[in-house]
A and B are shown apart, each in its own frame.
Chain A
């Protein structure tokens, strides 16, 4: 079945530095790739997403890149701040009628 792998499982960066989280997916038919942020005690919340007809998308300090050939996509957070500390999940989906498959999550910690 469809699988999404996410690395690293934990990431600690100095405040102000950049953080990169990487994911790979198995099903080449996947065409929608969201990233969710989960803060302690809360449900995940969408922070950015990308469709397969786009290679890169940026929203302020957050950017996502997609390499369809390699079936890789990555989340980039620049100028990290303490409030960026959370668990981040990547995901992949084939169509709007399909379920979303999530990665295993990355716990990001921002060191002051």
Chain B
């Protein structure tokens, strides 16, 4: 079946502009995660959605970052007034109820000039 998809695969933007990154999780997966992976670095947790519960936003690095998940499916990560240090690969993962494994998408490579 279809896996987690993310769009765009690559995004180049100018400093100060806003960007939106999209994640389409696997159908039926109730949990959705966003991570940031800077060049050669580990996975930095950003935000976690679980069903109808309030999201865990504890990883968002600043108030320029926000995310929403509409209808318990598609999620959008928004970065306002982008900075060069926001350049990274943004990964999305989803997980079904009762399963530990997270299924990752291919990521969106964001470059802020």
Chain A residues numbered 91-112 whose CB sits less than 8 Å from any CB in chain B: 93, 96-97, 99-105
Q: Is B100 part of the binding interface, using a Cβ–Cβ cutoff of 8 Å? A: yes
Q: How far is the CB of B33 from the nearest CB of chain A, in Å?
A: 7
Q: Is B93 part of the binding interface, using a Cβ–Cβ cutoff of 8 Å? A: yes
The main secondary structure of chain B at its interface with chain A is loop
Q: Is B50 part of the binding interface, using a Cβ–Cβ cutoff of 8 Å? A: yes
Q: Is B102 part of the binding interface, using a Cβ–Cβ cutoff of 8 Å? A: yes
Q: Is B12 part of the binding interface, using a Cβ–Cβ cutoff of 8 Å? A: no
Chain A residues numbered 1-51 whose CB sits less than 8 Å from any CB in chain B: 6, 32, 34, 36, 41-46, 49
Q: Is A89 part of the binding interface, using a Cβ–Cβ cutoff of 8 Å? A: yes
CB–CB A102/B45 < 8 A: yes
Chain B residues bordering chain A, tally (CB within 8 A): 24
Q: Is B8 part of the binding interface, using a Cβ–Cβ cutoff of 8 Å? A: no
Q: How far is the CB of A10 from the nearest CB of chain B, in Å?
A: 10
Nearest residue (CB) in A for B99 is: A96
Nearest residue (CB) in B for A107 is: B40
Nearest residue (CB) in B for A9 is: B40
Cβ of B48: which chain A residues have Cβ within 8 Å of it? Answer: 99
CB–CB A89/B42 < 8 A: yes
CB–CB B104/A104 < 8 A: no
Nearest residue (CB) in A for B47 is: A99
Nearest residue (CB) in A for B56 is: A99
Chain A residues numbered 64-112 whose CB sits less than 8 Å from any CB in chain B: 89, 93, 96-97, 99-105
Q: Is B72 part of the binding interface, using a Cβ–Cβ cutoff of 8 Å? A: no
Partner of A103, one of B35, B42, B98, B100: B42
Interface residues of B (CB under 8 A from A): 4, 33, 35, 41-45, 48, 50, 53, 56, 58-59, 91, 93, 98, 100-102, 104-107
Return the 6 tightest CB-CB contacts between A and B, nearest first.
A43-B104, A104-B42, A102-B43, A46-B101, A105-B42, A99-B48
